[in-house]
Amino acid sequence: MGGVLTVAFYLLVMVLVFGILIFIHELGHFLTARACGVKIREFAVGMGPTVFSWKSKKYGTKYGMRALPIGGFVSMEGEDEASDDESAFCNKKVWQRMLITIAGPAMNLVLGFILMMTLVLIQGPIGSTTVAEFDENALSSAQLEIGDVIIEVDGTRVYSGNEVLYEISNKGYEPIDILVKRNGEKLLLSDVVFPTSEEEGVVFGTLDFKVLAEERSFGNLMKQSFTRSLSAVKMVIDSLVGLISGRFGLDAVSGPIGVAEVVGEAAKTNIDTFLYIVAILTINLGVFNLIPFPALDGGRFLFLIIEGIRRKPINKNVEAYINFGGIIILFAFMIFVSFKDVMKLIFR
């Protein structure tokens, strides 16, 4: 009985979290379309049968909630077909359609920054990039010294302790180069070795030193919020690159069920962990939708770029077939990873 309640709790939290993230995403499309004078037929959260809906008397827009919490949409006049209405999406300038298309992912990224800023404000000390002390038997102490200010980790510029932690975790599974400032001069340390750990068959580097805390000034808080958000964006991109290159196997990919478990556990742990997971999810959603793949906002944005270059729209039927193919591939992949997550829960 306890297991059933736990699963139900996980699913409830996931539905609430994803509902908010999808709402924010679609709200970006909606507000930008409205600002550009596009006629909006329907604004819905979820997919499938309508649970409830109402219609605006002023604009004629239908607002609704659908049964399946797996997406959402803003249906605009002339979005997928030709129209003579001057307020139709297809009749707006290319740059306006680009703004409308990109607004959804942008809203998710903005929400991620706000959540990261909230985390920085409620958490304790802000980590700098200055080495303060080493853990017992630290491997990196063979080359790093206390007082070193870390500038780059394997060629990537770092501005905060959070970035140092991530870059070493991401790249420190093998010897890496560290650029530091020591006694006022820059010094490149070659092949610095860090301890490693393994998770889901993937090896990560482990930070084996502590960094100095920075003053909690307004400037440092904003810098920390911004760099944490950038690190999260980079983490999503690195994960996609790692998946394509083979560094991360499919075991490291989670579908809705796996995500529900992670979010549910975070909700039971503490507010800091929960906010961080939600921030990563919304940034993930924003970055993923920017990928130039059919059916995603990035794919639609690519079509608009091509239209701008050609100075004439792509055939709507061709675009529709390509987007439909993209939807089939995405749903097939989601079903596959969901099945994998179920098997993992059953046999773990």
| C-alpha dihedral, 331 to 333 to 334 to 337, nearest 10° | 160
Q: Which residues pair with 182 in a beta bridge?
A: 185
Looking from the CA of 264 toward its CB, the CA atoms found within 13 Å total 18
Segment holding 92, helix H or strand E? none
User: Catalytic residue positions?
Assistant: 26
* Sign, Cα dihedral of 236, 238, 244, 246: negative
Phi first, then psi: what are they for 118, rounded to 5°? -60, -45
**Distance between CA atoms of 205 and 200, rounded to whole angstroms?**
14
Determine how many CB atoms are found less than 10 A away from the CB of residue 73: 16
**Distance between CA atoms of 6 and 182, rounded to whole angstroms?**
51
Question: Nearest 5°: CA angle at 160, between 155 and 165?
Answer: 70
Q: Would you call 14 exposed, middle or buried from its count of C-beta atoms within 10 A (0-12, 13-18, 19+)?
A: buried
Looking at residue 134, the DSSP 8-state letter turns out to be E
Determine how many CB atoms are found less than 10 A away from the CB of residue 204: 16
Looking at residue 303, the DSSP 8-state letter turns out to be H
**Distance between CA atoms of 43 and 64, rounded to whole angstroms?**
6
SS3 percent helix, strand, coil of the chain, rounded to 5, is: 55, 20, 25
